[in-house]
């Protein structure tokens, strides 16, 4: 549901059904709402059966990359010769994205149940939930939920008397966007700087402590109990004609809409229905200018480009952007695109881990050029310079943080060039005092 | 920034954190990870909770307890922005100003905090030692602009008007 | 083709390399040096500088040559337009915060940033309007300064201290463009092998205090040599400026020291430049020595050597195989006691990450060679014998006053020496010899590796190698070090058949000795 707003008829609340319902938070409350039945069911299935069910559902990673979840699980070795680990990525930090936080704060057991099922499927006895340090309330909620579930036998040394050991450890981050990248997250859990690792080796071969590891997003894992309960085929049926993007997806909508919040819709729902229907459209007197559809790291779309845009992996890609995490930043005509692109570049410069040259220096330099433009001190060649730097920053580094900084810059210059030029030719007054 | 990080702040008053109950609490974490090193972030959180910040002495203690070198621990501490390597005010206020909140007026919220806390500028502690205000990158609550983290309290939907009243609760 | 080899094409050159070889190493086989900063063959590769990105056909994007391993049939282009643009981009990013202080930077002339920018960098800056990042210079320890502004964050130093030295006192602190190399304030870089970080630094960020502003790289002459600091036999380069040794640096030898040398060895060069040298042959005349020419001096020695009676050689453990061997040959036929002086330290200082590499207790370069030639390590008994011998030959040894007094009791004393000292007083003849930096020769390291060193500076005055003197005295046909080596080798089982040329630049194992690492 469109928490904090009442559910909209266009939604299909699955994960978000109990958002805003404090009674769903406790173990008992969750069980009353049908919780942990899927885990019991999954424990009665073999590892392969669970994985096959998830494969059949068409579920794709909800963290941003959209990799098929069942396929990812199937990369884990069949024989468990050394510890297997499941890591739940609860480091939600992609600007514009705030869905995982809602899942954890209202329905922590939904997540724990998903974790336990996934752990069973990949042969893991231990699950680390890596939650970003700023989520103080959700951290406490998760700790409490793990304790309750362990007391109730839904987690621990002997889950529901099946002899299966599944322990969940909540690991708190400490302020680093890049730890949301899966290999950086593993380093962070190991007590290191959150530097992304070179792939290969992939986590399923050598992840946490060089053991086979699967990393899944909160929303992905939260979807799993529903798939096990209702069946993969049922879940796959939740789509609007595109079998490659199935199920429901939580879209975090923020910025200049009347009702920002999390909306859960079936994949393929028109973007306009979400923005103008469920979210109530722009504030009075305002018109839509641009949408960053998948968290801040993806190319910006103009109002014209979201016409007829389907909200699924392929639909958004067809418009030249990405579905990403489903965090949608909506900007109306009052928005200074140049300023917001500078803010995003500043974000990436702040978060760059410092490993790769292009990212370490490029994100900071890009920010400085944008600041200079905003201060009215830009040079005619600055846009070409920005684009050339963006080219040097794209596809060349260990992870995609550098690319993520370049993408909004490139797309904003392509689509909103006159706004940059207004600063460059001094027809727009400077908005930054220094540069 | 980095210039200040080079300068170790004197912390003559430092008392070891990992004694008695705290030590037991830390040791209870050891079985949860195959290495002691993995307890580094939790241990640093414990130091910060106990002392308000993570000093060089704190780093040395953590290194000692976990069998790491202080240099290693310092590299990790300075990677994560939530660990304070300098003393901060009694209440640490983090205001999200990344794009989603920014377009909803987050910078005005920052100004209100700077004004009403008496901090004057970002990163500075108010003369009464009560507050430190910083801008923080995306707090992950973009639909509830502007979110603010005061100590461990995550507060949503802050507007400049709400700031004075909010501060009343932090003495 | 063996199944362990794969065939790859790099810039049009087909090479066969073992499976698992990184492209950057395969490229070397093809004669292509892929520009790089963070990669180093003796360190784990983090692939962070992104300088070595190359185009690999069929790969979706440029690949880092340092961590991408070869695959059979792979076609690599290191100099395609894409690869070149990527490198130019990295160089530009590295330069925006790098000071252009090359005129006062020790690294200038041997700086990989300078070299690659010269090759492929942009002509001008596009960053002109901004101040560069500034961090103060830091004292990192006994011999290392960190010039943070020049740092390109390649992390070689951090990885060396962590992965090789096993003492992680360095770190990367902060993140983004605020990052810098941090150090443990209490420990600093006092590890016995810490000086290697200066060599590893591809730019002038970590510099040696000892070498600071001593010379410009392009004014240095470089000579392949062997460290004289202990019995490990690390391969080194002696850098001289105007005939003065100003720096020792490790020279790669994968079997002995990989790319490293210890600080003890590194700083052990000042004696090579000493000014208080014996510069001419001296003969006793009454109670003093007078200078003479080689002919007269050698005649005198021939006379002494030709007499009967027990003889004793007391030699330095740092003398060459040639000198020790020829000296023994010179006294063949007489009852002979030969011993070498090898200072012993209390403990070894190993480099944890490299098997069988340590600063050894035996603090002389050629103790093993001396043993091979039948020299005794029993120094004190030999000195005692010397006191009653008919002839004592001293080769570049420092005697204590007491030892000198004992030796003075011998029938005749001949000194082959480098440095003037009190101990010379009793000598009938004093002959000036060259030191290690001033001659060619060979040492045998503790594992039985026979290694050559070359001449790095000219000898002062009339100094000659000791083997030459011994050859002249006995009329042996050994006019070159190679001939001297051949003569000495012929008489020693382990050396038989080995020639000077065979030894090459990385040496050869004695026959019968197994590869490095065998000796416990």
Which pLDDT band holds residue A235 (cuts at 50, 70, 90)?
very high
Interchain proximity B83–A174, CB inside 8 Å: yes
Interchain proximity A365–C174, CB inside 8 Å: no
State the complex-level ipTM. 0.95
Q: What is the mean pLDDT of chain C?
A: 95
* Strand partners of residue A170: A129
Please tell me the total number of residues recorded for chain A in this structure: 435
Asked if the model's pLDDT at residue B2 lies above 80, the reply is no
Start-to-end CA distance of chain C, whole Å, equals 37
pLDDT at C368: 97
Q: How far is B11 from chain C (nearest CA, A)?
A: 14
Closest CA to C329 of C473, C195, C134: C473
Q: In this structure, are residues A347 and A341 in contact, taking their beta carbons and an 8 Å threshold?
A: no
Q: How far is C188 from chain B (nearest CA, A)?
A: 10
pLDDT at A340: 96
**3 state SS for chain A:** CCCCCCCCCCCCCCCCCCCCCHHHCCHHHHHHCCCCHHHHHHHCCCHHHHHHHHHHHCCECCCCCCCEHHHHHHCCCCCCCCCCEEEEEECCCCCCCCHHHHHHHHCHHHHHHHHHHHHHHHCCCEEEEEECCCCHHHHHHHHHHHHHHHHCCCCECCHHHCCCCEEEEEEECCCCHHHHCHHHHHHHHCCCCCCCCCCCCCCCCCCHHHCCEEEEEHHHHHHHHHHHHHCHHHHHCCCCCCCCCCCEEEEEEEECCCCCEEEEEECCEEHHHHHHHHCCCCCCCCCEEEEEECECCCCCEECCCCCCCEECHHHHHHCCCCCCCCEEEEEECCCCHHHHHHHHHHHHHHHCCCCCHHHHHHHHHHHHHHHHHHCCCCCCCHHHHHHHHHHHHCCCCCCCHHHHHHHHHHHHHHHHHHHHHHHHCCCCCCCCCCC
Interchain proximity A261–B103, CB inside 8 Å: no
Q: Is the peptide bond before A200 cis (omega within 30 degrees of 0)?
A: yes
Which pLDDT band holds residue C3 (cuts at 50, 70, 90)?
low
Closest CA to C446 of C233, C173, C135, C181: C233
List all chains that touch chain C, counting a touch as 3 or more CB pairs closer than 8 Å: A, B
Query: For chain C, what is the radius of gyration of the CA atoms?
Result: 27
Interface test with A, best of B100, B103, B156 (most A CBs within 10 A): B100
pLDDT at C516: 45
Please tell me the total number of residues recorded for chain B in this structure: 171
C32-86: pLDDT as tens digits: 999 999 999 999 999 999 999 999 999 999 999 999 999 999 999 999 999 999 9
* Strand partners of residue C395: C315, C416
Closest partner CB to A191 (pick from B38, B97, B149):
B38
Task: Compute the average pLDDT of residues B84-112.
Answer: 96
Residues of chain B with C-beta less than 8 angstroms from the C-beta of A209 = 34-35
Q: Which two tokens stand for residue C366?
A: 């050629």
Neighbours of C113 (CB within 10 A): 25
Q: In this structure, are residues A389 and A362 in contact, taking their beta carbons and an 8 Å threshold?
A: yes
Q: Quick one: closest CA in A to B148, which residue? A: A134
User: Could you tell me the CA-to-CA distances from C48 to A359, A391, A398, B48, C132 in Å, in that order?
Assistant: 10, 18, 7, 31, 21
Q: Which two tokens stand for residue A301?
A: 């779309």
C151-181: pLDDT as tens digits: 999 999 999 999 999 999 999 999 999 999 9
Give the Cα separation of C6 and A192 in Å (integer).
Answer: 36
Residues of chain C with C-beta less than 8 angstroms from the C-beta of A365 = 93, 96, 127
Give the Cα separation of A256 and A405 in Å (integer).
Answer: 22
Start-to-end CA distance of chain B, whole Å, equals 28
**Strand-strand pairing, C144-146 and C138-141:** antiparallel
Helices C321-330 and C481-490, packing angle to 10 deg: 60
Give the Cα separation of A372 and A339 in Å (integer).
Answer: 11
Give the Cα separation of A357 and C135 in Å (integer).
Answer: 18
User: Could you tell me the CA-to-CA distances from A228 to A204, A221, A260, B79, C349 in Å, in that order?
Assistant: 23, 11, 31, 40, 61
DSSP-based three-state secondary structure for B86: coil
Q: In this structure, are residues A47 and A122 in contact, taking their beta carbons and an 8 Å threshold?
A: yes
Interchain proximity B137–A133, CB inside 8 Å: no
Q: In this structure, are residues A118 and A106 in contact, taking their beta carbons and an 8 Å threshold?
A: no
Interchain proximity A392–C49, CB inside 8 Å: no
pLDDT at B8: 56
Interface test with C, best of A352, A359, A361 (most C CBs within 10 A): A361
Q: Which two tokens stand for residue C353?
A: 């990450």
List all chains that touch chain A, counting a touch as 3 or more CB pairs closer than 8 Å: B, C
DSSP structure string for C121-155: --SS-S-TTSPPP----EEEETTEEE-GGG-----
pLDDT at C515: 52
Express as a percent the part of chain A with pLDDT over 70.
Answer: 99
Residues of chain B with C-beta less than 8 angstroms from the C-beta of A177 = 137-138
Q: Give the sign of the dihedral formed by CA A396, CA A398, CA A399, CA A405.
A: negative
Closest partner CB to C174 (pick from B5, B68, B72):
B5
Asked if the model's pLDDT at residue C276 lies above 80, the reply is yes
Q: How far is A362 from chain C (nearest CA, A)?
A: 7
Task: Compute the average pLDDT of residues A105-131.
Answer: 98
pLDDT at A270: 96
Interchain proximity B99–A253, CB inside 8 Å: no
Task: Compute the average pLDDT of residues A212-232.
Answer: 98
Q: In this structure, are residues C368 and C232 in contact, taking their beta carbons and an 8 Å threshold?
A: no
Residue with structure tokens 């330095």? Answer: C316
pLDDT at C476: 87
pLDDT at C426: 86
Asked if the model's pLDDT at residue C517 lies above 90, the reply is no
Give the Cα separation of C329 and C477 in Å (integer).
Answer: 12
Q: What is the mean pLDDT of chain B?
A: 93
Residues of chain C with C-beta less than 8 angstroms from the C-beta of B68 = 168
Interface test with B, best of C166, C173, C197 (most B CBs within 10 A): C173
DSSP state of C164: I
Give the Cα separation of C19 and C7 in Å (integer).
Answer: 9
Which pLDDT band holds residue B35 (cuts at 50, 70, 90)?
very high
Interchain proximity B2–C178, CB inside 8 Å: yes
DSSP state of B15: -
Interchain proximity B78–C173, CB inside 8 Å: yes
DSSP state of C277: B
Asked if the model's pLDDT at residue A71 lies above 90, the reply is yes
Q: Is the peptide bond before C80 cis (omega within 30 degrees of 0)?
A: no
Task: Compute the average pLDDT of residues A342-350.
Answer: 96
Q: In this structure, are residues C485 and C508 in contact, taking their beta carbons and an 8 Å threshold?
A: no
Give the Cα separation of A246 and A62 in Å (integer).
Answer: 11
Q: In this structure, are residues C213 and C103 in contact, taking their beta carbons and an 8 Å threshold?
A: no
Interchain proximity C90–A364, CB inside 8 Å: no
Residues of chain C with C-beta less than 8 angstroms from the C-beta of B72 = 162, 168, 171
User: Could you tell me the CA-to-CA distances from A159 to A44, A143, A228, C10 in Å, in that order?
Assistant: 12, 18, 17, 56
Asked if the model's pLDDT at residue A321 lies above 60, the reply is yes
Interchain proximity A174–B152, CB inside 8 Å: no
C405-437: pLDDT as tens digits: 999 999 999 999 999 877 788 899 999 999 999
Cβ contacts from A onto C, under 8 A: 86
Q: Where are the beta strands (DSSP E) in C260-309?
A: 282-285, 288-291
pLDDT at C471: 97
Q: Which two tokens stand for residue C87?
A: 């490198």
Which pLDDT band holds residue A2 (cuts at 50, 70, 90)?
low
Burial profile A291-328: b = 16 or more Cβ within 10 angstroms, e = fewer: bbbbbbbbbbbbbebbeebbbbbebbeebebbbbbbbb
Which pLDDT band holds residue A434 (cuts at 50, 70, 90)?
low
Residue with structure tokens 């990105």? Answer: C53
DSSP state of C437: G
Closest partner CB to C93 (pick from A198, A354, A361):
A361
Give the Cα separation of A239 and C236 in Å (integer).
Answer: 69
Task: Compute the average pLDDT of residues A394-405.
Answer: 97
Q: How far is A344 from chain C (nearest CA, A)?
A: 15
Q: Quick one: closest CA in B to C175, which residue? A: B79
Q: Quick one: closest CA in B to C173, which residue? A: B75
DSSP-based three-state secondary structure for B109: helix
pLDDT at A414: 97
DSSP state of B133: E
Q: Which two tokens stand for residue C20?
A: 């698992």
Q: Is the peptide bond before B146 cis (omega within 30 degrees of 0)?
A: yes
Which pLDDT band holds residue B3 (cuts at 50, 70, 90)?
very low
Interchain proximity B98–A189, CB inside 8 Å: no
Q: How far is C141 from chain A (nearest CA, A)?
A: 25
Closest CA to A73 of A109, A26, A112, A120: A120
Q: Which two tokens stand for residue A391?
A: 């080219």
Task: Compute the average pLDDT of residues C245-266.
Answer: 98
């Amino acid at each position: 549901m469109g928490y904090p707003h009442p559910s909209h008829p266009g939604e299909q609340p699955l994960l978000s059904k109990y958002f805003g319902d404090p009674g769903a938070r406790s173990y008992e409350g969750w069980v009353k709402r049908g919780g942990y039945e899927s885990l019991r069911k999954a424990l009665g299935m073999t590892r392969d059966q669970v994985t096959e069910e998830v494969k059949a559902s068409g579920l794709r990673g909800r963290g941003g990359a959209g990799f098929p979840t069942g396929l990812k699980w199937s990369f884990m070795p069949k024989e468990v010769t050394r510890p297997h680990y499941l890591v739940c990525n609860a480091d939600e930090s992609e600007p514009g994205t705030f869905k995982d936080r809602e899942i954890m704060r209202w329905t922590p057991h939904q997540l724990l149940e998903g974790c336990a099922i996934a752990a069973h499927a990949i042969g893991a006895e231990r699950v680390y939930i890596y939650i970003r340090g700023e989520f103080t309330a959700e951290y406490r909620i998760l700790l409490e939920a793990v304790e309750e579930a362990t007391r109730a036998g839904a987690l621990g040394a002997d889950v529901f008397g099946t002899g299966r050991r599944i322990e969940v450890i909540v690991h708190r981050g400490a302020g680093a966007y890049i730890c949301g990248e899966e290999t950086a997250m593993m380093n962070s859990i190991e007590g290191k700087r959150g530097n992304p690792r070179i792939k290969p080796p992939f986590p399923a071969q050598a992840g946490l402590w060089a053991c086979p590891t699967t990393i899944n997003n909160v929303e992905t894992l939260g979807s799993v109990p529903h798939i096990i309960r209702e069946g993969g085929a049922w879940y796959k049926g939740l789509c609007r004609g595109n079998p490659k993007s199935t199920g429901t997806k939580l879209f975090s909508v923020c910025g200049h809409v009347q009702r920002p919040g999390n909306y859960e819709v079936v994949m393929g729902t028109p973007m306009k229905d979400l923005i103008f229907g469920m979210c109530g459209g722009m504030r009075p007197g305002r018109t839509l200018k641009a949408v960053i559809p998948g968290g801040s790291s993806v190319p910006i779309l103009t109002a014209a480009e979201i016409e007829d845009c389907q909200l699924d992996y392929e639909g958004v890609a067809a418009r030249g952007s990405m579905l990403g995490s489903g965090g949608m930043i909506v900007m109306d005509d009052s928005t200074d695109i140049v300023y917001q692109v500078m803010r995003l570049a500043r974000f990436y410069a702040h978060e760059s881990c410092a490993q790769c040259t292009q990212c370490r220096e490029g994100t900071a330099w890009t920010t400085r050029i944008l600041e200079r433009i905003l201060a009215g001190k830009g040079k005619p060649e600055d846009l070409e310079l920005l684009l050339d730097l963006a080219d040097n920053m794209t596809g060349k580094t260990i992870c995609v943080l550098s690319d993520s900084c370049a993408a909004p810059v490139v797309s904003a210059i392509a689509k909103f060039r006159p706004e940059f030029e207004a600063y460059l030719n001094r027809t727009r007054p400077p908005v930054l005092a220094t540069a | 920034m980095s210039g200040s990080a080079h300068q170790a702040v004197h912390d003559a008053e430092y008392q070891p954190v990992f004694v008695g109950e705290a030590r037991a609490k830390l040791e209870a974490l050891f079985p949860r990870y195959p290495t002691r090193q993995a307890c580094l972030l939790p241990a640093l959180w414990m130091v910060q909770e106990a002392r308000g910040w993570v000093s060089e002495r704190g780093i040395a203690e953590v290194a000692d307890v976990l069998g790491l070198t202080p240099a290693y621990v310092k590299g990790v501490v300075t990677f994560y922005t939530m660990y304070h390597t300098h003393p901060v005010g009694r209440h640490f206020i983090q205001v999200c100003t990344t794009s989603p909140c920014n377009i909803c007026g987050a910078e005005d919220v920052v100004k209100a905090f700077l004004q009403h806390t008496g901090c004057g500028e970002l990163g500075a502690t108010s003369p009464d030692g009560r507050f430190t205000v910083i801008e923080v990158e995306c707090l992950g609550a973009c639909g509830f602009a502007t979110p603010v983290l005061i100590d461990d309290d995550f507060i949503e939907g802050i507007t400049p008007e709400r700031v004075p009243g909010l501060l009343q609760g932090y003495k | 083709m063996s199944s362990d080899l794969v065939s790859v094409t790099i810039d049009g050159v087909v090479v066969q390399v073992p499976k698992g070889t990184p492209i950057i190493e395969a490229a070397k086989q093809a004669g292509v040096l892929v520009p790089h900063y963070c990669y180093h063959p003796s360190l784990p590769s983090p692939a962070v500088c992104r300088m070595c990105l190359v185009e690999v056909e069929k790969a979706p994007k440029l690949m880092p040559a340092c961590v991408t391993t070869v695959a059979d049939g792979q076609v690599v282009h290191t100099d395609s337009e894409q690869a070149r643009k990527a490198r130019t981009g990295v160089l530009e990013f590295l330069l925006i915060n790098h000071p252009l202080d090359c005129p006062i930077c020790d690294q200038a002339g041997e700086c990989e940033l300078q070299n690659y920018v010269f090759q492929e960098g942009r002509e001008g800056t596009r960053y002109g309007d901004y101040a560069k990042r500034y961090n103060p210079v830091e004292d990192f320890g006994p011999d290392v300064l960190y010039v943070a502004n020049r740092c390109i964050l390649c992390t070689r130093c951090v990885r060396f201290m962590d992965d090789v030295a096993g003492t992680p006192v360095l770190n990367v602190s902060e993140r983004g463009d605020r990052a810098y190399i941090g150090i443990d304030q209490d420990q600093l870089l006092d590890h016995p092998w810490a000086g290697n970080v200066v060599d590893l630094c591809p730019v002038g960020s970590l510099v040696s205090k000892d070498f600071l502003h001593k010379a410009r790289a392009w004014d240095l002459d470089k000579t392949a040599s062997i460290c004289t600091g202990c019995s490990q036999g690390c391969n080194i380069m002696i850098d001289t400026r105007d005939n003065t040794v100003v720096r020792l640096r490790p020279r790669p030898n994968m079997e002995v020291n990989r790319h490293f040398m210890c600080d003890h060895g590194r700083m052990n060069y000042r004696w090579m430049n000493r000014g208080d040298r014996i510069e001419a042959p001296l003969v006793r005349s009454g109670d003093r020595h007078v200078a003479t020419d080689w002919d007269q001096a050698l005649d005198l020695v021939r006379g002494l050597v030709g007499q009967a009676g027990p003889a004793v050689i007391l030699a330095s453990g740092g003398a060459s195989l040639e000198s020790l061997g020829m000296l023994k040959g010179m006294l063949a036929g007489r009852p002979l006691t030969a011993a070498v002086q090898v200072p012993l330290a209390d403990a070894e200082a190993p480099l944890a990450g490299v098997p069988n590499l340590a600063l050894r207790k035996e603090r002389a370069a050629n103790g093993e060679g001396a043993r091979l030639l039948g020299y005794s390590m029993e120094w004190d008994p030999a000195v005692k014998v010397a006191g009653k011998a008919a002839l004592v030959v001293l080769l570049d040894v420092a005697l204590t006053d007491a030892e000198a007094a004992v030796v003075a009791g011998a029938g005749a004393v001949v000194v082959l020496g480098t440095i003037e000292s009190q101990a010379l007083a009793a000598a009938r003849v004093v002959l000036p010899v060259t030191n290690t930096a001033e001659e060619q020769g060979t040492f045998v390291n503790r594992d039985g590796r026979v290694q050559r060193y070359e001449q790095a500076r000219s000898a002062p005055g009339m100094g000659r190698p000791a083997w030459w003197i011994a050859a002249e005295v006995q009329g042996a046909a050994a006019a070159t070090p190679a001939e001297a080596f051949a003569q000495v080798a012929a008489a020693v089982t382990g050396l038989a058949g080995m020639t000077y040329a065979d030894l090459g630049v990385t040496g050869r194992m004695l026959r019968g000795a197994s590869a490095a690492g065998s000796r416990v």
